[in-house]
Structure 1
Amino acid sequence: MTTRLRNANPCDGCALRRVKCEQGKPCHECLIRGIECTALRTRKKRGPKGGVRTTTKDKVERFQESIKNDQSCTIETTTPRPSSLPSYRIPLPEYARILNISKRPVSSIWIVINPEHLLTKISENSEDYESHALAAALCAATIAQLRLPEHAGPLNTTSSHQFARECLQLRELYDYRESYSLSSALIPFFMHVYHSNGNKLRTAGLFLRESVTQVQLMQLGYPETYAHLSQSEQSLRLRIYWLVLITERTYSAQHGLQAVLQVIDVFPDIQDDMADERRLQAFVCLTRLFAYLESNLTAFSSNQPPLERQKLVSYQAALCLDSHDHVAREAQRVDLFVTRQWIRLILWEYTARHFAMSCYPDDEAFSLYLPVKIGHKMLSNFSMVTNAAIKTHGYGIELKVFRLADAMLDIIACTPFSAHGNACTTFRGWEGLRIST
């Protein structure tokens, strides 16, 4: 057997085909394939090409330098500059302007916060993010509740939307979910007010649930847990609890939800530095009204047994009394009156679902025409107060008024034509009120 020697320098054909090139001219492969055996290609040097890799060190150094530059830029952007405010921060004069407005009519409703004290806190400490978030939420709620021009302003101006957005941005600067302070309950409460007046009811409901949860976690419904605090601090906590409870009962009644917070037998003290005695007395009267609005009255369906007939009669009779309304200011007087009639209407709706109703009952609690009587009273009261006293209550009073109007429409639709007289007259007056508001 003949041994063929391998050619160390393969010909062009064998190199291209990557096969063994045996010695000889022509080589064995070229001979059997009948092709010309040539060696025209330039032989390349074996091993690493290009000599010493002098650029590797330069590339590593450039990469390390870029990392250092990125880190220095990050430190520079995250470190606040003392000479200027962050880009999202609304100027303090704008806060002062809206907080000053909130002291006048709205403070009659939200007597849980001192705007002057809050402004001092955010002026003295720019890094008190929770106080800034509370101020932003209060400003957004004030603008929306009072329907100020800033409520419908463009996004690039100091509008209620901008205050609300700033509130959310500020909350991200601290661990707000773990905050254990009264502000942690008030911030979502005011955001609820803002979104309710912006007709974003689902968003408003979520913020309200957050406020309710914070109230529960702080056990504000158990006054014995903070009995060691000063009298003014106890009164403030009770006002916050009742304010959130009232708001939750109102929202639950409008949306058929089961209320979470429970009515307690302890009411705020009417002697307090935050508000005068008349305003606190009116607020306490408002809390007592909601004691009649039991939690099973707000839900469309409830597993609890129905209220007793006599209890409904006594509730309706008690709600007809207005023993302290005359001592309140006009805006609070409107709130007390409308809330009282609204709760009477909810009781009537509950009664109609569980008991037989009549056009000529022994007690008006079981009268089919009770909403008509309530409508007469409300129109009579509205004719004696200013429009500003009504509009101060914003979205909340609108809901209560329209609920009564809906009940009257149902009565008109379900009663014989001959009985429409008083109901139709009242409803025409109601239409005029709706257009004016």
Structure 2
Amino acid sequence: MSGSCGVSANTPAEPVPRDGSVIERRPDSAHPWSQTIPQTTLAYIMRRYQRSSYSVWPVVNAEMLLQRLEGGNDPSTYCLALALCAATMAQLQLVPLMNEDREVDSNLLATECLRLREEIDFRENLDARSVLVSLFLHVYHAKINKRNSAMLFIQEAISSARLLRLDEDGMVTKKWGTDEDVIANRDILFTLLWVSERGYAMHLGLKPSYASPTCLLDRTQASENTHVQGLLEHARLFAAFDDVLIRRSDSNGLSVNTLRETEAALSMLSLGQGDRAATRIADYCITKEWMRMIIWQEALSQHLLSSTSYLELMTFRFPVHVGRDLLRSLQGFSKSDLLPLGRDQLLKCFEIANSLADTVLCTSSILSSFQGFHFGPQDLLHALYQKLLPFLEQDSVLNSILHAKTAEALVKAPARALHFGVNERWSVEEQSNDGIDERLDFANNVRSGISEIHDFSFG
């Protein structure tokens, strides 16, 4: 961020994170109206947004937002800053910041934002900033697992955008207000809302309020910005999945052909050329495998599965393929890559791992199919659980469910040591060759283990 952004000389002392990290001080500048949250605090959090979360929500020009905050008397801009900072703080699990004797956390930021937007009568004074405020309040409430509030806020964002005609094809030619220059990549603003509502509605088992498909820019129309390209690629997953999403609750159900064609379309999609932020790649990979698992769950609920089906999608083995593909996708990502994605992606990963666990526990034929292989489905489940553990620890309920199922799957799996004679000498090499050491160390050596898991073909 530019050093030109400043704060009032009367602003409380520089905030200090509890983890001891240093926050850069900005030059003082006059501020014509009172803010309850110092600009130094907001500036620190916005820099964290720019560094870690911009690739997920590439719609705020943080530098311009800071300049607007210090240079004008505009409560709507301040309200946007509060919402963005509340979402960022919650999503990244930032420690509370201290300003003198006052503690600033995401709850305080969200509370102040909600108070201020009612004061300024935002519903009758809508602009694109109001839309983003609703979006970031959705993110905040989703992170703290207030699902009803989160759903209402994202629907509010969609409705506000429609009132402003931001969902129309000609939105890029819209005349934007001077104060709206804090919004970046305006041509994908509604796409971000469209994807966000669909993803959250799927978690709650609801249809999205905006049922119509959205117009996605193709690669030649879109900005060369890699974050824009990444979001559009993410949106194409939802576009491919849309038929299933809109029709899955219909009384007639979905046909085998619809499920098969949708899964095939998802499998064929891939990221385009060019660099992508690690967070965006992880988001894409997790969402893709989650959608494939939902299609399989839909087939299961309609009693379409068969052990003799020629379509892998229509067998009980399909969760093994999805779990393997998810594990391959996640192996190169660190906790810092995945943390900005928040609770939504944790839930997606949990759904995949949980479906794999249920399949392993309830279908004995799955384990027998892998008897000749070095690693089996229970090993996949174990590795996936260990990979997700840093994120599962944020939710004790999900952690306890998956921990219990993983332990049960490992206990029920065939004991490989029983294949040895009681008098047979176990050398280190023999133990390694027969999978004993690998079994124990698999969770901590995902990369080496994945190379053992090939594209199996079952008859």
2:201–2:207 CA contact under 8 A, matched in 1: yes
Does the CA contact (< 8 Å) of 1:191 and 1:204 recur in 2? yes
Distance in structure 1 (CA, Å) of the matches to 2:56 and 2:201: 19
Q: What amino acid is the match of 1:101? A: R
What amino acid maps onto 2:202 in structure 1? A
Give, as a single letter, the amino acid of the residue that structure 1 aligns with 2:123. R
Aligned to 1:49: none
> Cα 1:144–1:154, aligned 2, differ >3 Å: closer, same or farther?
farther
Task: Give the equivalent residue in structure 2 for 1:211.
Answer: 157
Task: Find the counterpart in structure 2 of residue 336 from structure 1.
Answer: 284
Report if aligned partners of 1:220, 1:237 keep a CA contact under 8 Å in 2: no
Moved more, 106-115 or 219-228: 219-228
Letter in 1 for 2:196: T
Write out aligned runs for 1:179-328 (5 A). 179-224=125-170, 227=173, 229=175, 236-264=185-213, 266-268=215-217, 277-294=225-242, 297=245, 301-303=249-251, 305-324=252-271, 327=274, 328=276
8 Å CA contact 1:145–1:197 kept in 2: the answer is: yes
Structure 1: distance between partners of 2:170 and 2:77: 27
For residues 311-390 of structure 1, the aligned pairs below 5 Å read 311-324=258-271, 327=274, 328-354=276-302, 356-390=304-338
Q: How many angstroms apart in 2 are the aligned matches of 1:151 and 1:365? A: 49
> What amino acid does structure 1 have at the position aligned with 2:85?
C
Q: Structure 1 CA distance, aligned partners of 2:172 and 2:292?
A: 34
Would the alpha carbon gap of residues 171 and 99 (structure 1) be closer, same or farther in structure 2, given more than 3 Å must change?
same
Q: Which amino acid aligns with 2:198?
A: R
Q: Does 1:101 align with 2:101?
A: no
Higher RCO (CA-CA < 8 Å; seq separation 6+): 2
Superposition TM-score, scaled by structure 1 size: 0.72
Summarize the alignment of residues 138-217 of structure 1 with structure 2, pairs less than 5 Å apart.
138-150=84-96, 156-217=102-163
Q: Alignment partner for residue 394 of structure 1, among 330, 342, 347?
A: 342
SS where residue 157 of structure 1 aligns?
strand
How far residue 292 of structure 1 moved from its aligned partner, in angstroms, is 2.1
Distance in 1 between the 2:354 and 2:246 partners? Answer: 17
Distance in structure 2 (CA, Å) of the matches to 1:271 and 1:91: 42
Task: State the AA in 2 paired with 1:243.
Answer: L
Distance 2:305 2:225 in 1: 42
SS in 2 for 1:293: helix
Distance 1:151 1:302 in 2: 49
**1:289-314 per-position Cα deviation (integer Å, ceiling 9, x unaligned):** 110232653787335x4344323222
Aligned amino acid, residue 212 of structure 1? I
Say which of 105, 113, 116 aligns to 2:60: 113
Contact 1:138-1:190 within 8 A present in 2 as well: yes
Distance 1:148 1:243, change over 3 A: same
Give CA-to-partner distance per residue, 1:121-147, whole Å, 9 cap, x none. Answer: 111113x11111011000011111111
Q: Secondary structure at the match of 2:139?
A: helix
List per-residue Cα deviations over 1:396-426 (Å, max 9, x = no partner): 2101011112212321232126636533222
Who is 2:71 aligned against? Answer: 124
Q: 2:185, 2:228 within 8 Å by CA — same for their partners in 1?
A: no
Give the distance between the partners of 2:272 and 2:209, measured in 1 at CA.
Answer: 28
Contact 1:151 / 1:160 at 8 angstroms: preserved in 2?
Answer: no
Deviation at 1:393, TM superposition (A): 0.6
Distance 1:365 1:220, change over 3 A: farther
User: Quick check: 1:118–1:131 contact (8 Å CA) kept in 2?
Assistant: yes
Superposed CA RMSD in Å reads 3.2
Deviation of 1:187 after TM superposition, in Å, equals 0.4
Deviation at 1:228, TM superposition (A): 5.4
Contact 1:235 1:269 in 2 (8 A): no
State how far apart, in whole Å, the 1-side matches of 2:208 and 2:185 are. Answer: 22
**Preserved contact between residue 144 and residue 194 of structure 1 (Cα < 8 Å):** yes
1:226 is displaced (CA, Å) by 6.3
Name the structure 2 match of 1:9.
none
CA contact (8 A) 1:348 1:365 kept: yes
- Give the whole-Å Cα distance in 2 for the aligned partners of 1:393 and 1:96: 21
What's the offset of the Cα at 1:108? Answer: 0.5
Quote the Cα distance in structure 2 between the aligned partners of 1:152 and 1:307: 54
Is contact 1:253-1:299 (8 Å) kept?
no
| Separation in 1, partners of 2:134, 2:184 | 21
2:6 is the counterpart of 1:91: no
CA distance in 2, matches of 1:120, 1:369: 55
Structure 1 CA distance for aligned equivalents of residues 296 and 304 of structure 2: 11
| Amino acid paired to 1:95 | L
Residues 89 and 170 of structure 1: is their aligned pair in 2 closer, same or farther, counting only changes over 3 Å? same
- Cα deviation for residue 371 of structure 1 reads 1.6
For the 8 Å contact 1:102–1:142, the answer to whether it is kept is yes
- Counterpart in 1 of 2:11? none
Q: Is the 8 A contact 1:134 1:187 kept in 2?
A: yes
Residue aligned with 2:227, SS: helix
Equivalent position amino acid for 1:249 in 2: R
CA distance in 1, matches of 2:100, 2:353: 34
Equivalent position of 1:5 in the other structure: none
Q: Could you say what secondary structure the match of 2:116 adopts?
A: helix
Answer whether contact 1:136 1:167 (CA < 8 A) is retained: yes
Assess if the C-alpha contact under 8 Å between 1:129 and 1:173 holds in 2: no
Where in structure 2 are the equivalents of 1:29-40 lying within 5 Å? none
